[in-house]
Structure 1
Amino acid sequence: MELSSGNLLTVLTLASGSERNLEQQNAEAQLKKWEVSSGYHYLLQEIYLKTEVPLQIRWLAIICFKNGIDKYWRSSRQYAISKEEKVQIRSRVFYLLHEQNNQLTVQNAHSVSKIARFDFPSEWPTLLDDIAKSLDEFVFKSNDLISTNNMLIILNRIIKTISMVRIGRARHAMQSKAPIIVTILIKLYQKFFQGWTQSLDLSLMEICYLCLKNLRRIIPEGFEQPHKNQDVSEFLASTVDHLQSLIQEHDKYSSDLLERYVKCYCKLYVTIINNNPTSFVLLPSSQKILTTFLTLLEQRAEFIYNSSEENDFWEILALKGFVILKKIMAYIFKKGAITLKQRNDKVEVSSAIEKLTKDFFTPDVIQHLCELVINWYLRLKPSDLEGWLLEPEEWVNEELSTSWEYQIRPCAENFYQDLIRYFSDTLTGYVINKISYGLVENESVDRILMKDAILCTFQLSSSAIANSVNFDNLLHEVFIPEGLKNDLVENKILKRRICLIIGEWVSVQCSRESRIDIYKLLLNFLQPTNQINDKVVKIASIQTLRAIVNDWDFNKHDFQPFLNDFVKLLLNLLNEMKLTESKLYIFNTLAVLIERCNPLMDYQTLIDILRIIPRYWESSSVDNEPIIKNSLLRALKSLTISLNENSAETHAIALPLVNSCCSESSELYSLLSEDGYDLWLSLLKYCPQSQLNNNQIMELFELIPSGLLNSTEILPTILSILRSYSLYAPELFSNKISLELFRVLAGYLPKMRDDAFAVFVSLLDILLLENSSNESFINNLLTSGLFSAMIDYVLDDNQSIILCTKIYLVLSRLAKNSPEVFFRMLDIASVDVEKFFKTWLQYYNNNGNPRNKKVNLMALLSLTAYGVPKNIKVALEISAEVVKRTFYFLEEIKENDNGSCEAYNSDFTYEDIDDYAYLDPDIKPHGEKNRYGLLLEKMDPVYKTNLLEYLKETIMSLKTQLSNSDFNQLMSLNDGYTLDKLHALT
């Protein structure tokens, strides 16, 4: 069908039909064909501009137009819209300004902003001038409110789009035109604000709001230093008056639109502060803005405290007030170094900071702010107490998950932390005095709430006042006695606060002896017999326990007397808690306890924890709570590690779960596979020797190919599982699955991350120690392309030399044990052998590890011993250098008669086999460490081959195989140093 206005209208009519049928599908297909045709977008624009066309068709036309602009306007795109068509389209983008349908206007605005993004200023330099001129004409000459409204919607989208541009001329061009646009917008704003406040006309109010919305965007983005523009300064001064009047008359003008006005003023101030805090402070109206919000926080404090509504208007304003004050405080504290965009000179920064500290943030104001926050904003609200009483689990879980930017008490806590940090000299004594003399008796709920707020300041001040207080004294004199009181039910409020204080301070200042007293206190809080210890207190205690156990200075031997009691209480609490989040805290804390107290938790306790896992796994399936399953998998991993030689106890439960979580076809795969792989790895590592023929473990190997392909973000974990299998069942690497695995690894190797590379090297080192003479394994290595990939890696000049030496180390294993096979593999892979061996010798000195050097030398000697008699040229060429370097090495290293020495007992290729856990004498080596040790003892020639004897055998072998003349010719290649050493040797 030929593209024309009539045909396009017909097709759009069919495509916009309400019933889905073949005609509609054909129409959509036709539109898809036309979208790359010249003139298509111009005709779409023509149709949506015609007001007589049905709205549904115009709507489809403008959507197709907008999407086409996004896809084809950029000139570098395939099927880009032609220059001529662009000119025609741009000439008509403002024809729809009389449109009364707001949704069409919004879609048109999106289209115009996309065009502006690409064409302003190069192809459309007059864009902003034309808009300013049109706005002036609509308002001050024709009084066309509809066109004014629509133009402001378009302008807002243009400013928003261009403001996001960071490369190119568009943003700078907008800034050059900003004074013109701002001048007309301010005039419009003032005119319409005066109009709607006098008449309460909602249409004028909406247009005025659009003016404000545009100004809110263009002032911060269009002026790097707003305080230097008189129009902007005067406008911002007027906004403060308007903000104050709207706040005062809130009930009179009560509407969502009015609240949007107030929020828009707040966003304007915050954005200016973010972009250029110095300029904000130097505004003549800045102090008035700050005072307005401080006054608001004071005057509305009681109302906000007693409010139970979500998204309450006054609470939102208070949040903005705290954010603004917080940002200004940070500016003072950081001496103006807030953002990279800061371009003010030092004089202006100093002037701004002096203005703030002298005129606003005086010591009296700082203390007043602190008092205000304590008295009203840190206190638990009546709505909090109601939530605590009726739905304690829901309440505490919301407390632990709420972002500080959206609720007033968390926001006030965050603000207070900055206040005490930035003005610690002014507030430290004040806060300590509050704690010393403000903790009155628990005579009423109000007194308890005030005490809780005061204690909250101590909790939040840990980093600022740690050097001025003795936490251990306060713990024993104040917090523990307070926590043990049971005279009022409301004491649970203080028990919770004491838990929060301990959780915050334990990593800052807490002695070993005090921690023992804390364990006793937390045990008391978790007792089921005490009615004051409700769910909120117990969850707070669990969170605190986890923080203490996770702390760097945690001593598991001090904790051991309490360990079993805590575990029993936690297991009992699982039955008491109803919500998923509450159970998660318990499971996560159990996992941390098992991990940090390893191996002190007794066998029976570990089995008790293990037995509950199937029940909660099944119940979470019924309740559709996969997040519980993640936590259970992590707990099961900790159990496996802690059971160590008894880890087979977990197999009946853990192996089916691994199979379920790590099978690509499983519905659990996307959510649980990562934790499933971690559990799988721990099962392999800690598997005892008695379980080496476990069929379920062997069958899981079939799941690795999909994991290796799909889980590249956790590639080190997948490779570690492979490495564990290489020690657990090396025979698995001679089958078809290993061929597939090696193909994938060959593709990954050139760009493999360092963490994955380290595991890859140790995996290949183990495999080649075990399988250098295994024909099936060698064939898989060759056929898969992995051998060629390793050769290409070491010959690639762009790769790290250190990493290349590790690949040469792996190749050395093969070369040492099977020199004939190695040369044949080089030949099959069409390797430039001269370059390969030259690079090998060149990189040899980058080996800092004596053990690795010996592996290299033994391989090179083996290749020499085989290659020289076979007339392999490269073997003859390298022989003298290899022998010399062997003598150099022997002078550095003093081997015993068996060929071993102390230097060989560290820096293994399997780097993480001696991780930090084995520094703990209580922890026994796991099964994999034992298997690796046995492999080295049995198969690694480093420990049982005397290198000097090996060199001697190599020379004697050459002498036996070569004629006298050939042997003498070979010896003549050596230098004097080497010949002297050889004579002494033979």
Structure 2
Amino acid sequence: MDMTTAQSMVLETLQRAANQNAEILKPAELKLKEWETEPGFYSILLNIFSNHSIDVNVRWLAVLYFKNGVDRYWRKTAPNALSEAEKVTLRQGLVSNFQEPINQIATQLAVLISKVERFDCPREWPELVPTLLTAVKSEDRLIQHRALLMLHHVIKTLSSKRLAGDRRLFQELTSNVFSFVLNLWNSHVENFLAQMNANNNEMGATLEKALLALRILRKLAVHGFKKPHESADAVHFLNMVFDRAKTMLECRKSLRSRGSNLVELTEKFIIHLTKVLIAVLEHHPFSYVELIQPSLEFAVFYVFTPSGETVIFERFIIQCLNLIKGILLCAEYKPAKVVEETKEPGTLRAHQIKMSFFTSDTLTEMCRKLVTHYFLLTRDDLELWDSDPESFATDEGGESWKYSLRSRDMNLFLALFHEFRVTLSPVLLEMIKNNHALVSPSDLSAILRKDAVYNAVGLAAFDLYDEVNFDQWFSTTLTQELKVKDNNYRVIRRRVVWLIGQWTGVKLSPELRPALYATTLPLLQGDEDMAVRLTASNTLKLAIDDFEFNTDQFLPFLEPSFSLLFTLLKEAHECDTKMHVLYVLSFIVERVGFAIRPYSGSLIQYLPLLWEESAEHNMLRCAIVSTLVHLVKALGTVSETLGPFLLPVIQLSTDVQQECHVYLLEDGLELWLAVLENSSSMSRDLLQLFRNMPPLLEYSSENLRTCFYIIQANILLSPEEFLNIYGQMIISSCNSMLSDMRSEGIVMTMRLVEMCLRAGPNVATELVKPIAIYRGEEYPMVMSMYLSMARILLCSRDVFSQVVAKVAQMIGETQEAVLNKMLDVWLDKMALVTQLERRKLLGLALASLLTAQSNSVLERFCGFLLNITEALNDIIKTDDMGVLIDSLLLTEHSSPGQDDACWIMKQNMTIAGEEAWKHLQFQILSTPLSSGITFKLRCLSCRIRWGRRNLNS
């Protein structure tokens, strides 16, 4: 097939793939997928998206397929990798495509080139950057713009490499091109300013090129210098940023007055100038030291003085606040507690600049401006409150501080207050004093002012600990303000209840907790504003989450709290709101425990309905499952009404075939375990639920511990039935995982196996044979768990013999040789076992081996006696009556009678030599394990002491 025919076929297939009809689209996508590995396919794609006469959607699709192919097949070691000859042709075609008329396709092409460059530059593609720099100098405006766009993406990709060699190459590139790009940027900015004065139609294109050059300079300045302050060009550029920002702010003001559509692009340019400063501060704090003073002067002038307010806009304010906070919190600018002991000169210099700038007057003005201006609720805020109170109540939280002006204001206020607490505390206390009295419900400006001050006091609660008598304030003014029910006063009610929550864990006497509960509950009632109710619910949660929380104090308020929160949960509409309220309810259930039982019925009835309604909201379902975990634990039993709901929830949450398991798995496993722990018997549905477990054991190790707890709970609940059905699968999974586990995982696995033996010995003895083989681990805890497989010997000597035979077959040795090695390890490592119950188990197993007719045992007879005696000495103690008892034996009578023990000892002492030992063996081993373990070991100890003297006589 010739190239023309192949290109026609690909073009036709791309046209079908761009069709919106799924019946046409799907086969075309499959065909393109099939061609991805065919030689020449990407050359055809290059020809298609380079042909400007072809439909835009088809060209767009072609460049996307090419870009995806670079990710999969460009690397030399990739399966079905492109040939080097084809790569050369493709690179030549890509680097000559500077006249793309469609912006979106041009952007995708620039990204595509940067992806290829990441693999090939500079070795296989050394001409890329020189070619782009040459194109940037072109007189053709389109070529110039496209070349700058490509250069931007190339520099962005190169700057993201972090290997030492790559960083060194990028630094060399920066030293070669930085001056050129800086001059280019200056040229474009000057052209834009001239065109703006002349109202030239080309100023938009010029500003776009200036912005692209600025983006390139940012990457070069941040990642292209080890120490930017040592480069004259970098220092010159950073100092120019302030002047350019001031100029562009005036340009934005002028363009806005003209109604120009370039205002948004100008704002992007200004924001990117501030991003340059913030990025250099973050990556090169010591290079930024001499820029601290101009940065603070720049930011404070525009944000905190009347002169600067006329040209600023919200995103610029946020960036300025980010810059100030970055300087305040920079760890490299923090001196030692004793400033003179600071060794780093850059730290001392930065500290001196900060302290000289942040004078008392400056700090006071900034604090007042933040509180009385930026903290005030705006008209838009109040409109949002009226139209969507749930969104308003949740918008102030989260991680939006870098992008939300209000959150940014609060963060800067906290940073300032924490750094200069001595200076700012009197300022804030004065504000509290001036706004202390009750205000008129009709005076909205006074209400908003008080709201702002209370907001500041709540944020600075920890720093004001010694300055504010909160108990008195709470008991007098704050409780009175909560009683004013005017609509405008909802602002104060919400802020006051929030303020109480902030101070609860800081400075509120335990004696006032009942008053706090009593004050908060009326704000949860249905006739209250929704935003106030949500804030009150969070305050209640903070009060309960406190270290000094007293359950007895809260019990009188438990029923109304739970009832009001449940009503709030039903009346909330937003998913985030329901999650928040459900979290508070769940937290109350967790803290009060069994006391919640009388009031849980309504929640139990509502949760299934909420579960059905939240089918599209996985995070809400996470909250529901978490609540169910606490509810089951608090109830102490799985009720008949809750049981049929719980098992389908667990089934869905732990099924790896369901997409939602990514969100629900962890909480679903916790719920599964809680249900098992609180079930009195094993039901058929609960047993069938275990079908979800095999994939989970293979899925990952993140939840393996919880999975093992679930298996153990199933074993304890119904040992023989459960092990008969799932035992083989469990042992097989455990056996396959052991080879990849560290010591902690091996111990956990062996404990599970031991649980099988202890709970269902009749079934488990046969099941555990594949995993009962010692694997040579030397770690004491692992050794202890492997040696505990001696329980198999006590359960069934036949199975133990089969294990020995299997090992012998696997390694090609005799059974006698294998037994010798096992006994050597056993006798040598038994001393490493520190748990008394395991030492006793090993001692009993050794004693049982004494009856075996084996030379391996007889040859190690003294070792047997020594280990048994040491185990016996560890577990025997004398009770108050002077009787020797087994400290681990739990029976109706703590030990056999003293006379019985003495009679056995006397009988054994009258018999000599080998016959005495045989008689003692019979006495020890013929007694059932459950009726006298301690008694048998005590007799053995007596006989050992005698036998050491007389056994050979």
TM-score by length of 1: 0.81
CA shift in 2, pair 1:42/1:607, >3 Å? closer
User: Which residue, 774, 791, 801 being the options, matches 1:823?
Assistant: 801
1:235-634 alignment to 2 at 5 Å?
235-254=237-256, 255=262, 256-283=264-291, 286-298=292-304, 314-331=313-330, 335=334, 346-358=344-356, 360-401=357-398, 403-443=400-440, 444-483=443-482, 485-486=483-484, 488-528=486-526, 533-601=528-596, 603-620=597-614, 624-634=616-626
Tell me the residue number matched to 1:914.
Answer: none
Q: Distance in 2 between matches of 1:759 and 1:43?
A: 58
CA contact (8 A) 2:827 2:867 kept: no
548-557 or 885-894, which moves further after superposition?
885-894
Displacement of 1:981 = 5.7
Q: Are 1:888 and 2:870 matched, yes or no?
A: yes
Displacement of 1:822 = 1.6
Q: Are 1:802 and 2:781 matched, yes or no?
A: yes
CA shift in 2, pair 1:841/1:209, >3 Å? same
CA shift in 2, pair 1:318/1:451, >3 Å? same
- One-letter code aligned to 2:706: T
Q: Distance in 2 between matches of 1:50 and 1:941?
A: 97
CA shift in 2, pair 1:693/1:734, >3 Å? closer
Q: Distance in 2 between matches of 1:956 and 1:432?
A: 95
Displacement of 1:680 = 2.5
Q: SS in structure 2 opposite 1:845? A: helix
Q: Distance in 1 between matches of 2:830 and 2:448?
A: 71
CA contact (8 A) 1:300 1:314 kept: no
Q: Distance in 1 between matches of 2:307 and 2:799?
A: 83
Tell me the residue number matched to 1:148.
Answer: 144
Q: Are 1:959 and 2:918 matched, yes or no?
A: yes
CA contact (8 A) 2:133 2:147 kept: no
Q: Report percent identity of matched pairs.
A: 23
118-127 or 16-25, which moves further after superposition?
16-25
1:509-551 superposed Cα distances (whole Å, 9 cap, x missing partner): 33321222212211232345xx5x3222221111111122222
1:391-427 superposed Cα distances (whole Å, 9 cap, x missing partner): 3223213334462222211221122122212222332
CA contact (8 A) 2:687 2:722 kept: no
Q: Distance in 2 between matches of 1:179 and 1:937?
A: 84
Displacement of 1:353 = 2.9
1:565-618 superposed Cα distances (whole Å, 9 cap, x missing partner): 3223223334443433333333322222222112334x4323344344344445
1:62-141 alignment to 2 at 5 Å?
62-83=63-84, 86-87=87-88, 89-91=90-92, 93-125=94-126, 127-135=128-136, 137-138=137-138
CA contact (8 A) 2:95 2:128 kept: no
Q: SS in structure 1 opposite 2:350? A: helix
- One-letter code aligned to 2:766: N
- One-letter code aligned to 1:117: R
The alignment's C-alpha RMSD in Å is 4.0
Tell me the residue number matched to 2:850.
Answer: 865
Displacement of 1:447 = 1.3
- One-letter code aligned to 2:801: F
- One-letter code aligned to 1:562: F
Q: Distance in 1 between matches of 2:33 and 2:631?
A: 61
CA contact (8 A) 1:556 1:597 kept: yes
CA shift in 2, pair 1:347/1:130, >3 Å? farther
Q: Are 1:186 and 2:182 matched, yes or no?
A: yes
Displacement of 1:955 = 9.6
Q: Distance in 2 between matches of 1:30 and 1:669?
A: 33
Q: Distance in 2 between matches of 1:677 and 1:387?
A: 40
461-470 or 236-245, which moves further after superposition?
461-470
Q: Are 1:162 and 2:158 matched, yes or no?
A: yes
Displacement of 1:161 = 0.7
Q: SS in structure 2 opposite 1:895? A: strand
CA contact (8 A) 2:16 2:24 kept: no
Q: SS in structure 2 opposite 1:380? A: coil
Tell me the residue number matched to 2:934.
Answer: none
CA contact (8 A) 1:227 1:233 kept: yes
Displacement of 1:165 = 0.7
- One-letter code aligned to 2:572: M
Displacement of 1:59 = 5.3
CA contact (8 A) 1:15 1:24 kept: no
User: Which residue, 664, 678, 686 being the options, matches 1:686?
Assistant: 678
Structure 1: unaligned runs, 5 residues or longer? 305-311, 338-343, 906-935, 964-975
CA contact (8 A) 1:716 1:755 kept: no
Displacement of 1:644 = 2.0
Q: SS in structure 1 opposite 2:832? A: coil
Across the two proteins, how many residue pairs are aligned to each other? 889
Displacement of 1:556 = 1.0
CA shift in 2, pair 1:61/1:584, >3 Å? closer
Q: Distance in 2 between matches of 1:762 and 1:937?
A: 25
Q: Choose between structure 1 and 2 for higher RCO, CA contacts under 8 A separated by at least 6 residues.
A: 1
Q: SS in structure 1 opposite 2:254? A: coil
1:121-175 superposed Cα distances (whole Å, 9 cap, x missing partner): 344456545544553x42xxxx232222121111111111111111152221121
Q: Distance in 2 between matches of 1:562 and 1:722?
A: 40
Q: Are 1:644 and 2:636 matched, yes or no?
A: yes
Displacement of 1:962 = 10
CA shift in 2, pair 1:30/1:388, >3 Å? closer
Q: SS in structure 1 opposite 2:183? A: helix
CA contact (8 A) 1:441 1:447 kept: no
557-566 or 49-58, which moves further after superposition?
49-58
- One-letter code aligned to 1:272: V
Tell me the residue number matched to 2:735.
Answer: 746
Q: Distance in 1 between matches of 2:437 and 2:114?
A: 62
CA contact (8 A) 1:647 1:683 kept: no
Tell me the residue number matched to 1:340.
Answer: none
CA shift in 2, pair 1:380/1:813, >3 Å? farther
CA shift in 2, pair 1:985/1:435, >3 Å? farther
1:839-895 superposed Cα distances (whole Å, 9 cap, x missing partner): 444443333322222222222332x3244x144x2x345442232123233334433
1:193-232 superposed Cα distances (whole Å, 9 cap, x missing partner): 1212222422222222211121122211112322332223
CA contact (8 A) 1:887 1:981 kept: no
Q: Are 1:728 and 2:717 matched, yes or no?
A: yes
- One-letter code aligned to 1:145: R
CA shift in 2, pair 1:314/1:70, >3 Å? same
CA shift in 2, pair 1:697/1:93, >3 Å? closer
Q: Distance in 2 between matches of 1:846 and 1:267?
A: 61
Q: SS in structure 1 opposite 2:161? A: coil
1:176-203 superposed Cα distances (whole Å, 9 cap, x missing partner): 2213322111211122212122224222
Structure 2: unaligned runs, 5 residues or longer? 197-201, 257-261, 337-341, 811-817, 923-940
